[in-house]
Structures are given as structure tokens and as C-alpha cells.
Amino acid sequence: MRRFIAIGAVVSLAAWVFAQMSGTDMLNGFAKALNGAKSLSATYAVQPIGGTSTTYTVELAKPNKARIETPTQLIVADGTNITTYDKGDKSYFRTPETDAALKELFLSDELSLFGSFFDGAFYKDRVVSAKSAGQKNRKGVSYDVVVANMDNKGKKTISFYLDPKDKLAKVGEFVLTDAGATETLLVMTKDYTVDGNQPDTAFAFAPPAGSREISQEELNAGRWFTSMEEAQAMSKKLNKPIFVDFYADW
């Protein structure tokens, strides 16, 4: 009887320790594990609840190379430039690669699971609080789940499904609740390789046949300006007219 009680006590203690593990510590462990990788290759599905699933792929390599393919864009960071190719328009533009510009590529929900690869503090200033949600089984796989609040009002949460073996997030559930409506986006990895072999051509952009390069000025010409002076300067450079959109509060 004493031996049974002792064994039971050990099991209970282990479960209690796991339950008491800080969600912040678990999230930091994930960020540290991903930031410690030298390379990463992943294919994953992006599924808005009620919408159509699409496929994304990423190839990342230290210190500053990335290849990101979405349904509408191909983005290649080769360590010197970041080239963005628009599949619909068949146009591309280049901008100088900086550390900040590289990190900004991962700010969207569709890519943020990989933000810690280049930035170990990626979640530090973005997460308000995080808590462990215990273990959950998803499609036959057990994960350690961390739920992070992204704002003080609790409008946005991210549930990270962490693989207990390598501490990496293999699934992300992004929930936004605002004005009585809830939107949920699932990011679910299919293939996930850390420190594997990558082809030499992964980070070299080859313009597709029939594509054209556009300048930063042409790119900016398609956006709205809030300064008339800036709009006039751009209009003069490109010899294009200015369209003014205005409204009034009564």
C-alpha cells in the first residue's frame, strides 16, 4: 500500500508541475528553439473557418535569407535585397534588405508562427499574457497548448500547439472577436524540417517569363497619400493625375 501511494504521489507531482508551468515560459521555450535553428523548411495550410484552405511554403536560413510563397505572392530575401513578385500582375519589385524589413515579413497571422526564427524576442512585445491550456489531441497528435492574449481587452488570442518533442509550434489558432463577431484562422503545418538540406537556388529570384520589374515609385503610385505635397511630388515624377477622395463629418 505504501509503495502504491508513493508511485501515485510521483505521478501526481509530475502532473502538478506541468500544470503549473508558466504559459510565458512555454512560449519563450518555443521562441528559443525556433531561433536556435540554422534553417527551416515548411509547407502548411491556412484555413479561415468558413473559408477556403490555401497552401503556403517557407524556406528560411540564417543569417538573413528567406523564400516565402503564398497563393498571390513570392517573396525572396537573398541577404541583399527583398524581391516581391505579384503573381496576378506578373510584376516584381526590389527593396534593400534590412534586419527590420526581414522581420516585418512575419507580422501577418499567416506567417507569424515563424517570426521567432530571425527574432528571438518576436513575441515579447506582442503578447500581453500567456497561459498553459494543458495537453490537447489534434488528429491523433498530442500537443502542449499555450493560449496568448494579444491585447488587454482580450479581443485577439492565439493558441499555440507545441510539439512536446522539439517545443516548436506546429499549429496556430488565431481568434479575433470584435463587435459581436468572431473570426478564426487556422495555420496547420504539413511538412516541417529544421536544419535540413536546402537547394542552392532557394534564395535566388528568377523572374518568371513575361514578368516585368517595377520601380518603388510605380509601386507607391497605387497607394493613397494623406499628404497633398507627397501626392503632387509622385504625380510629377510619373506624369500621372491626382485623384482626391474626401469626406465630411456633419
> Are the C-beta atoms of residues 35 and 116 closer than 8 Å to each other?
yes
pLDDT band at residue 85 under the 50/70/90 scheme: very high
Is 196's pLDDT higher than 90?
A: yes
147 touches 161 (CB < 8 A): no
Residues 149-194: tens digit of each pLDDT: 999 888 999 999 999 999 999 999 999 999 889 999 999 999 999 9
For β-strands 169-178 and 73-77, DSSP reports them as unpaired
Residue 82 confidence (pLDDT): 97
Task: Give the number of other Cβ atoms within 10 Å of residue 118's Cβ.
Answer: 21
Rounded-to-integer distance, Cα 194 and Cα 40, Å:
5
Domains, in order of start, for the chain: 17-213 (2.50.20.10), 215-250 (no CATH)
